[in-house]
């Protein structure tokens, strides 16, 4: 069976609607009223208070296709993009939810029926994991569904800390959490990687497609696990990962949506090799950046805005790597509208403003990128046998040329180097102390210091950022 991403999204919503689930629209990437979370990173975020028993809905079963960003905070995949077949900064999570209604048995049966009957995936290519002590889930899989024992894997707290298991899911450091069962797809032995729980599990042969979480606890800041009023279900399946399977390809980057974006990026940057890693990074980043702007995030020097800025700059650096001359990134918003505008009309409605925000960032960073890269290349040439870039250099690139630390790390990694992260943090801290001391001399001196920074260095200050926003809004 072959399905487009759009057909899959529809099939998922329809299947769970037929099982009495209320179809709920995706919420914003900016979580409502949740200062503990940088971005919406899962389908359950908009239902957090319902799980906690602090909010009630008119339905107790829901289904959604939720836009998610994992580029900061607890779930951060920014540095995986370009290196794995399965990670994006922005992706869509298909999810079904039970608020104190059905629990483990129905959740597992629904998931299995959807995959093997609706999508007709071959059963022998599917593996499952359960939390080590969850005998109930294990028995449902092996006795009711009939998964052979060699494809049902128990995963415990094998990562050093309690509840650090892949099969114990938490939205963040606090909030709803619980044991989970996950479904993996075997893409075949021509791809490197081992089954979940094995030493090679980070490879991309066995790709995790669906996580079914049995929400049972509310974790407090002091680590206390308080049982939830009603055991619930929260599931998440990456639309791009399941699309890859239904489109008979291995990597998410080979699916319809991404091929469209990659071709457009290739044409704009004059790249002929469609498998070039930088094209994948750019195709990924245009999605997260456009959706973040559409949801009201503006580039800035802190918080959400700084994450957006980091992603834009990373994309611009990859364009530079491909030899793109001038503005290219913002030109991809139009193609994104072609690929995803039907499901997300705001991409079309807000196209002009998204393009403008991205273009201004590209133009600004373009001014210092080349010089920073030259400095970095110089430094690498002088490191001798060491492969560690000193923290002060990473800090200088950040402070003088506007290089976010992950961008420097990304360039370093490509060239076989790494960055002394602790040294970078120390240099940052030293700078903070100097600024603090300077401010003790009085406001005027501090003022002078700040404006010197603006003209001499980057022009990326908050003041400038705000001026940009005001100008855009006036248009
Ligand atoms: P992985 O182990 O592959 O990083 P995960 O365990 O972090 O995935 P969950 O938090 O369990 O993922 O999220 C539920 C589902 O969302 C995953 O099974 C996967 O299909 C999808 N997913 C998670 N992270 C990403 C991502 N960065 N890009 C695309 N899909 C993702
Ligand atoms: Mg992950
Ligand atoms: Mg996982
Ligand atoms: Mg998972």
- State the CB neighbour count (10 A cutoff) for residue 80: 16
The pTM for the full model equals 0.89
pLDDT digits (tens, 9 = 90+) for 283-331: 999 999 999 999 999 999 999 999 999 999 999 999 999 999 889 999 9
**Which structure tokens are listed for 308?**
């957006």
Dist. CA 201–CA 209, nearest whole Å:
14
Backbone angles phi, psi at 371, to 5 degrees: -65, -40
What's the distance, Cα to Cα, between the start and end of the chain in Å?
Answer: 48
pLDDT of amino acid 97: 98
> Sign of the CA dihedral 386, 392, 393, 397?
positive
Helices (H) and strands (E) in the chain, counts: 16, 11
pLDDT digits (tens, 9 = 90+) for 397-449: 999 999 999 999 999 999 999 999 999 999 999 998 988 887 765 444 334 33
State which ligand 1 atom lies nearest to the alpha carbon of 84: 3
CA-proximal residue: ligand 1, atom 8 (nearest): 208
Question: In 341-461, which ranges are continuous DSSP H helix?
Answer: 346-349, 351-381, 391-401, 405-414, 421-440, 443-456
Q: Are strands 225-238 and 206-219 parallel, antiparallel or unpaired?
A: antiparallel
Kindly indicate the confidence band of residue 188, based on its pLDDT and cuts at 50, 70 and 90. very high
Range with lowest mean pLDDT among 17-31, 114-128, 228-242, 457-471: 457-471
pLDDT digits (tens, 9 = 90+) for 58-111: 999 999 999 999 998 778 999 999 999 999 999 999 999 999 999 999 999 999
Question: Is 70 exceeded by the pLDDT of residue 450?
Answer: no
**Residue 205: strand, helix, or coil:** coil
Q: Is the ipTM of this complex over 0.90?
A: yes
How far is the centre of ligand 1, averaged over its atoms, from the C-alpha of 448 (Å)? 47
Question: In 415-461, which ranges are continuous DSSP H helix?
Answer: 421-440, 443-456
pLDDT of amino acid 53: 87
How far is the centre of ligand 1, averaged over its atoms, from the C-alpha of 330 (Å)? 27
Residues 417 and 380: beta-carbon distance below 8 Å = yes
Dist. CA 310–CA 275, nearest whole Å:
24
Is 91's C-beta closer than 6 angstroms to any atom of ligand 1?
A: yes
CA-proximal residue: ligand 1, atom 9 (nearest): 211
pLDDT digits (tens, 9 = 90+) for 197-220: 999 999 999 999 999 999 998 999
pLDDT of amino acid 447: 40
Dist. CA 18–CA 357, nearest whole Å:
41
Residue in 183, 206, 211, 311 to alter for ligand 1 test, most ligand atoms within 8 A of Cβ: 211
Q: Are strands 126-131 and 152-155 parallel, antiparallel or unpaired?
A: parallel
**Residue 143: strand, helix, or coil:** helix
**Residue 155: strand, helix, or coil:** strand
Kindly indicate the confidence band of residue 173, based on its pLDDT and cuts at 50, 70 and 90. confident
pLDDT of amino acid 74: 77
Say which ligand is closest to the CA of 170: 1
**Which structure tokens are listed for 350?**
């807000």
Residues 133 and 191: beta-carbon distance below 8 Å = no
Dist. CA 438–CA 440, nearest whole Å:
5
Between the CA atoms of 201, 158, 214 and 21, what dihedral angle is there, to the nearest 10 degrees? -20
Dist. CA 90–CA 249, nearest whole Å:
20
- Reference 285, options 267, 303, 306, 309; nearest CA is 309
Is 236's C-beta closer than 6 angstroms to any atom of ligand 1?
A: yes
How far is the centre of ligand 1, averaged over its atoms, from the C-alpha of 47 (Å)? 18
CA-proximal residue: ligand 1, atom 12 (nearest): 211
pLDDT digits (tens, 9 = 90+) for 233-254: 999 999 999 999 999 999 999 9
| Residue 38 DSSP one-character state | S
State which ligand 1 atom lies nearest to the alpha carbon of 210: 18
| Residue 149 DSSP one-character state | G
Place of tokens 């597992």: 108
How far is the centre of ligand 4, averaged over its atoms, from the C-alpha of 76 (Å)? 13
How far is the centre of ligand 3, averaged over its atoms, from the C-alpha of 420 (Å)? 27
Ligand 3 (single-atom ion) residues, CB below 5 Å: 166, 208
Measured in whole angstroms, the distance separating CA 14 from the mean position of its chain's CA atoms is: 26
CA-proximal residue: ligand 1, atom 14 (nearest): 236
CA-proximal residue: ligand 1, atom 7 (nearest): 75
Residue in 184, 203, 233, 236 to alter for ligand 1 test, most ligand atoms within 8 A of Cβ: 236
User: CA dist 239 to 8, 13, 173, 337, Å?
Assistant: 8, 12, 26, 18
| Residue 145 DSSP one-character state | I
Query: What percentage of the chain reaches a pLDDT higher than 70?
Result: 91
Q: Which residues are 91's β-sheet partners?
A: 68
């Amino acid at each position: 069976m072959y399905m487009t991403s759009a057909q899959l999204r529809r099939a998922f919503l329809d299947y769970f609607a037929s099982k009495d689930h209320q179809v709920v629209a995706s919420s914003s990437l900016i979580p409502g009223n949740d200062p503990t979370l940088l971005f919406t990173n899962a389908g359950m975020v908009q239902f957090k208070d319902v799980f906690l028993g602090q909010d009630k809905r008119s339905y107790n079963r829901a289904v959604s296709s939720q836009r998610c960003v994992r580029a900061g905070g607890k779930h951060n995949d920014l540095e995986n993009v370009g290196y794995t077949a399965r990670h994006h900064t922005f992706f869509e999570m298909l999810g079904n939810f039970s608020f104190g209604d059905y629990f483990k048995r129905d959740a597992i049966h629904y998931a299995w029926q959807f995959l093997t009957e609706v999508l007709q995936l071959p059963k022998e290519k599917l593996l499952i994991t359960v939390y080590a002590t969850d005998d109930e889930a294990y028995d449902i899989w092996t006795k009711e569904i009939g998964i052979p024992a060699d494809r049902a894997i128990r995963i415990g707290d094998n990562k050093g800390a309690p509840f650090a298991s892949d099969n114990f899911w938490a939205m963040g450091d606090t909030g709803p959490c619980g044991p989970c069962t996950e479904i993996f797809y075997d893409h075949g032995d021509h791809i490197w990687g081992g089954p979940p729980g094995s030493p090679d599990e980070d490879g991309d042969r066995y790709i995790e497609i669906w996580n079914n979480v049995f929400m049972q606890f509310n974790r407090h800041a002091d680590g206390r696990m308080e049982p939830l009023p009603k055991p619930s279900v929260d599931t998440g399946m990456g639309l791009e990962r399941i699309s890859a399977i239904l489109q008979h390809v291995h990597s998410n980057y080979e699916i319809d949506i991404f091929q469209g974006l990659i071709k457009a990026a290739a044409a704009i940057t004059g790249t002929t090799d469609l498998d070039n890693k930088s094209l994948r990074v750019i195709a990924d980043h245009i999605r997260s950046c456009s959706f973040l702007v559409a949801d009201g995030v503006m580039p800035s020097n802190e918080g959400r805005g700084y994450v957006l800025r980091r992603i834009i700059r990373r994309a611009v650096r990859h364009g530079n790597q491909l030899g793109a001359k001038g503005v290219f990134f913002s030109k991809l918003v139009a193609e994104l509208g072609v690929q995803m505008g039907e499901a997300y009309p705001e991409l079309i409605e807000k196209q002009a403003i998204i393009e403008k925000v991205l273009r201004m960032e590209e133009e600004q960073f373009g001014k210092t990128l080349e010089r920073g890269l030259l400095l970095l290349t110089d430094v690498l040439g002088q490191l001798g046998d060491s492969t560690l870039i000193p923290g002060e250099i990473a800090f200088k690139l950040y402070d003088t040329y506007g290089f976010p630390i992950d961008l420097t790390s990304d360039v370093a990694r490509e060239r076989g180097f790494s960055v002394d992260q602790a040294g970078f943090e120390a240099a940052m801290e030293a700078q903070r102390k100097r600024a603090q001391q300077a401010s003790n001399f009085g406001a005027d001196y501090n003022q002078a210091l700040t404006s010197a920074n603006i003209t001499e260095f980057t022009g990326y200050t908050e003041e400038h950022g705000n001026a940009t926003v005001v100008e855009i809004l006036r248009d």
